[in-house]
A and B are shown apart, each in its own frame.
Chain A
Amino acid sequence: MDAIILQILNGLDKGSAYALIALGLTLIFGTLGVVNFAHGALFMIGAFCAVTLSRLLSLSHKVEVPGAVDFLGNPQMRDVPYIYDLFGESLGAGIIDWAVPLSILFAIPVMILIGVIMERGLIKHFYKRPHADQILVTFGLAIVLQEVIKYYYGANPIPTPAPSAFVGSFDFGALVGFEPRTIIYPYWRLVYFAFAALIIGAVFAFLQFTTFGMVVRAGMADRETVGLLGINIDKRFTIMFGLAAAVAGLAGVMYTPINSPNYHMGMDFLVLSFVVVVVGGMGSLPGAVLAGFLLGILESFASMREVIAIIPGINQVIIYLVAIVILLTRPRGLMGRKGVMED
């Protein structure tokens, strides 16, 4: 039992990332009908927002250490971040420590801006072109974004730690009444899951309970009619694209402590996220979330030592196997609407 709970927990953080990216992909596909291969790159840019902010916060200048001299007799210098001057040493150190969660505030406007520019500047011109062209141009864009990031940040992963309050693990098993020390779980992964749940809830609430969301849902169902009613649906869809970009970006920001960001992390996630979208059902938001968590948890079960002993290599291929089975037996995916991209 404890092993099962442990695997479910392990699957949750990856599943959260899949679900968030797949949610954004589905939002874009459902509203604009575009298959966005650059979505992984947005996830990656989000992660690099966190890197940028933590670097900005630690910008520092040199200050003499009073009374101390090095072996040549020169006064000893030490680096003092500018933020210490602004807020004092203890608060400044706290801000630097919390750089990753603070990056959320920084990443939202940046990602929405990038999303809107992408949609208005490039994707807008591809609505009437075949899906293959959309895939190709966004694939090209993903390469470009990835290379730009590589140029400025280098090819190596950049470690970006979580706030020290969340470093380390806790005994989840003891908390819910199992033997102590059976289910040990890192804090940050729980934070990530809670964060993902919050974002997913917020997106659904936004679509369900606001007028704007209602119009967008109407547009997803029948774009032409909504347009005929005199509503500027294109503008709203552009904003939805920005929102989807922000969701992917936030998923990236919070993922940095789990996995040090590098320039190709987006591509690694993109392939899997597409599989997730297809399994969940093209254009179905609940499907994307469900499939994201499902596949994340399945993957973590498949990497159990006992399972690998029975079927070697299953942990590497489980997601693809599930995708193949789903696509062949239930073409519209788990929760896809009938007739949407079903051929």
Chain B
Amino acid sequence: MFGLDKKDASLLLIVAALVAFAPFLLNPFPEGSAMAQFNAGYPDLMQRFVIFGIFAIGFNILFGLTGYLSFGHAAFLGVGSYAAVWMFKLLSMNVIPAIVLAVATAGVFALIIGYVSLRRSGIYFSILTLAFAQMSFALAYSVLTPITGGETGLQLALDDPRIFGSATTADGNIPVPGFFGLEMRDSAELVFGSWVFTFNVGYYFAAIIMLASFYLSIRIFRSPFGMMLRAVKSNQQRLNYTGLNPRPYTLAAFVISGMYAGLAGGLMASMDPLAGAERMFWTASGEVVLMTILGGVGTLIGPVLGAGLIKYMENIISKINSDILHSWFAFLPDGLEDLIVALIYPFIGKGWHLTLGIVFMLVVIFLPGGLVQGGQKIAAMFGRKKAEKTENATTEPAE
């Protein structure tokens, strides 16, 4: 299907199904119940799942295939956001030109930064990309204020030109981004008993783009070009000896992954039309590294899983407070309850970064392949057991 082999096609279909039914899957608990705070099926968070999924997929094309660890990828996301918001300000509130310009601008930036940074490899490459990203951040924050809005960020205003659209809505408000009449923030709700499922236009729009970019990334992974990138990762010297220049390939990978980041930035601005310099700060670049590693670097589905996990933790774990903990452990005797709450408390709420850091360290130490490798190990464990069972069942020797 679509030029994919059976395994990849089924992976794509599974992801598509998960994404399509996400409003149901992420809302397993009825509204108002004690577990309802674990529901992640609200539009804002679901949009973030898919948008950061795109960001991580793109990062994985660079880091997973070529092994070049960029510590400045958030710069492209920020550039994409700014480009998209400028489109909303100047052209119209349609998201298509905004996203196209976001991708193109990020691509140009990635071409320039990549051309310079890829002259070095290893730690030097990481530092160069970090330096470029920090420069972009510092400039966006200070000197480029007329373009970027500086500290307050770039926002829409009532007196923006918007030459192809209307500057204001009929009732004098700032219009919202839309896709040919479909407004990104529109939602339909389905009430089913005490469950409430929200279907958001923006989410499905981003999800379709995410599926398209996921499909593209599968094709890149399976293409001769992807093979070439893997060759760069495994032994660049040998590649040189065979008379091939790896630089055009790595540069192409860098630009593609920068464009993915720009796409994510453009989508982010489409969901909520503002852009700030903090999106380019190096912790944002670190976050996408965390996502990719957590999920499984170099695997197809890993980065999406990692992005989902981190965004879920960020939004759900950080909301738990000590009262909620107390209500969970209320069945225990008082002393024990307080002890357990005191033990867990540092890891939740505002301390969710601590949990993230610990999980990340554990993954790097024990599971360099991330969650995907973990899943494979578990599968192999059960698989071996099954195999042993069948071996025992059949009396004939394996040979």
Contact = CB atoms under 8 A, between A and B. Distances in A.
Interface of A: 35, 122, 125, 129, 131-133, 135-137, 139-141, 143-144, 146-148, 150-151, 267, 271, 274-275, 278, 282, 312-313, 316-317, 320-321, 323-324, 327-328, 331, 341, 343
Interface stretch (B125-133, B164-172, B264-272, B375-383): B125-133
B31 to A, nearest CB: 33
Interface of B: 67, 69, 116, 119-124, 126-128, 130-132, 134-135, 138-139, 141-144, 282-283, 286, 289, 293, 346, 351, 353-354, 356-358, 360-361, 364-365, 368
Contact of A144 (B131, B283, B354): B354
A141 B135 CA distance: 26
Contact of A343 (B121, B135, B365): B121
A275 B142 contact: no
A147 B135 contact: no
Given A144-B357, A343-B121, A343-B122, A151 B351 contact: yes
Given A341-B123, A343-B121, A316 B141 contact: yes
5 contacts: A133-B368, A278-B123, A316-B141, A320-B131, A343-B121
Nearest to A278: B127
B351 A317 contact: no
B314 to A, nearest CB: 13
Contacts of B289: 136, 139
A271 B120 contact: no
A129 B364 CA distance: 11
A135 B143 contact: no
B364 A331 contact: no
Given A135-B123, A144-B361, 6 more contacts: A137-B365, A144-B358, A147-B351, A317-B139, A324-B131, A327-B128
Given A147-B351, A327-B124, A327-B128, A313 B368 contact: no
Contact of A140 (B124, B128, B357): B357
B90 to A, nearest CB: 24
Contacts of B124: 278, 327, 331, 341
Nearest to B131: A320
B230 to A, nearest CB: 15
Nearest to A155: B350
Given A125-B365, A139-B286, A328-B116, A131 B130 contact: no
B293 A151 contact: no
Contacts of A135: 69, 123, 126
A320 B135 contact: yes
Nearest to A274: B127
Contacts of A275: 127, 131
Contacts of A136: 289, 293, 360, 364
A129 B283 CA distance: 24
A323 B293 contact: no
B360 A140 contact: yes
B233 to A, nearest CB: 10
A313 B143 contact: yes
Contacts of B128: 323-324, 327
Contacts of A328: 116, 119-120
Contact of A271 (B67, B282, B358): B282
A133 B364 contact: yes
A321 B139 CA distance: 12
A151 B67 CA distance: 35
Highest count of chain B CB atoms <10 Å: which of A140, A328, A331: A140
Contacts of B144: 313
B142 A313 contact: yes
A271 B354 contact: no
Nearest to B68: A132
A324 B354 contact: no
The 8 closest A-B pairs by CB, nearest first: A313-B143, A143-B357, A316-B138, A147-B354, A140-B361, A144-B357, A320-B131, A140-B360
B120 A320 contact: no
A317 B138 contact: yes
A132 B69 contact: yes
A308 to B, nearest CB: 9
Nearest to A333: B124
